[in-house]
Amino acid sequence: MADFSMDLNEDQLQIQKWVHDFAENVVRPAGREWDEKEQTPWPIIQQASEIGLYSFDFVTQCFFDPTGLMMPIASEELSWGDAGIALSIFGSTLGVAGIAANGTTEQLTEWGPQCFGTPEKIQLAAFAVSEPDAGSDVSSLRTRAVYDESKDEWVLNGTKTWITNGGIADIHVVVASVDPGLGSRGQASFIVPPNTPGISQGQKFQKMGIRASHTAEVVLEDCRVPGHCLLGGKDKLDEKLARAREGKRSSSQAAMKTFEGSRPTVGAQALGIARAAYEYSLDYAKERKAFGRAIIENQAIAFKLADMKTRIDASRLLVWRASWMGSQGKEFTAGEGSMSKLFAGETAVHVTEEAIQIMGGYGYIREHPVEQWHRDSKIYTIFEGTSEIQRLIIARAISGVHIR
C-alpha cells in the first residue's frame, strides 16, 4: 500500500512539468481559437498523440500509479491550459474508464488501445449514459439492449444525449437497460465498435463553455453488436440479474461504478481552471494601479485572492485524497469522490467569477481569458452528477438514510 504524501515523487514531478509545458506552449495559445470555432481541435490532439500524451499507454501509466495522483495532476495542468481542449484530449479516457470498471482484462486489452488509435490514425472514444429524460436519474434509462441468442448479438435502441465525442467517436461505450423492471440493477455496458451500422450522431450542442469539446446526441437504431461486446460477459450479467431478481443487493451499477472512479479527475479539471483564473487575476492585481497604488494593496482585492487561493488548495486536497483512496481500493464511506468533485466544481465557478470582479470591465471582455474560464467552469457543477446529486450522495453516505 502506498503511503499518502504531499511530496510528489520524481515520476510525478516529471509528468507534471511535461504536461504543463504542453499546456503552456501548445494548449493555452490555441484556446481562444478553438473556443470560437466550437470544433474538435484535431491538430492539438495530433500533437498530443505524437508526444504520447494522447495514448492508451499514458492512461495506463496513470491508472497504475500506486498513489493515484498522476491522472489528477495531468488533468489539472492540461485544464490550466484550456478546459475545452483538455476534454478533447482526455475525453476518450472516460470511455476507457467505462471499459476498465465494467469489463474484463481481456476486453480492456483489446479495446483500450482502440480508444486512442495511433499518431498515424487518431481514434476517439465516448461513454454514453445520459438520456433526454434521464440525466441525473440513471435508473430511468430507456435505451434497451435485447439479446438475439440465435446470432449471439445484442440489439441496441435508444437515444443518448450530452455525450462527449458522441457520434464522432470510433469506440462508443453504451450503458443500456437489459431488464427495465430492475432499474439501474438491470443495466449493462456495451462496446459499439467502429463502423457499426445503426449508430449515428444526432444533434450537436452549442454550449456556453468548453466549446472545443464535441458534445452531441448518439442515436441507436437496431444497432447490433457481437455478444463479446457485452462488458464483463454474459455469465456475469446473468448472475447479477439473478441476484437482483431475488432482491439481493448488487455491488455495483454499470454507470455509477465508472462515475465513482472518475469524479476526482473531473474535480482536478475544475481545479485547473480555478488555478488559471487565480494566477491571472493575481498578476493583474499586482500590476493594475488605481488611486496611486497597486489594487492588491487594498484589502477588498487582497482578501478575495486569499480566499481564492485557500479554496483552490482545499479542492486539491480533496481531489488527491479521493484519488489516493481509489488507488488503494478504499471505499468512499463518506462520499469522498463526490466531495472532491462538488467542492472543486463550485470553487472553479467562484474563483473565475471573483477573477472577473477583480479585473472589472477588463475581465468581462474577450481581450482577457477570464471570461472564457468563467464560461468553462460552470459545467463542472452540472456534468457527471450535478452539485445537488453530489450532496445527495454525500448525505446518504454519512447518514445511512435514503434521502430523496
332 is written with which cell numbers? 468512499
CA torsion, ordered 241, 245, 250, 256, to nearest 10 deg: 70
The verdict on whether 331 is a catalytic residue reads: no
User: Whole-angstrom Cα distance, residue 105 to residue 29?
Assistant: 39
Catalytic residue among 217, 260, 336, 384: 384
Phi-psi region of 193 (alpha: psi -120 to 50; beta: other; left: phi over 0): beta
Sign of CA dihedral 118, 123, 129, 130: positive
In the chain, DSSP finds a helix count (H) and a strand count (E) of: 14, 11
* DSSP per residue, 319-381: HHHHHHHHHTT---TT-HHHHHHHHHHHHHHHHHHHHHHHHTHHHHSTTSTHHHHHHHHGGGG
* DSSP per residue, 151-212: TTEEEEEEEEEEEETTTT-SEEEEEEES-GGGGGGGEEEEEE-TT-TTEEEEEEPP-SS-TT
Please name which of 185, 174, 181 lies closest in space to residue 224, comparing C-alpha atoms. 174
User: Burial level of 234, CB count in 10 A (0-12/13-18/19+)?
Assistant: middle
User: Whole-angstrom Cα distance, residue 121 to residue 125?
Assistant: 13
Catalytic residues: 384
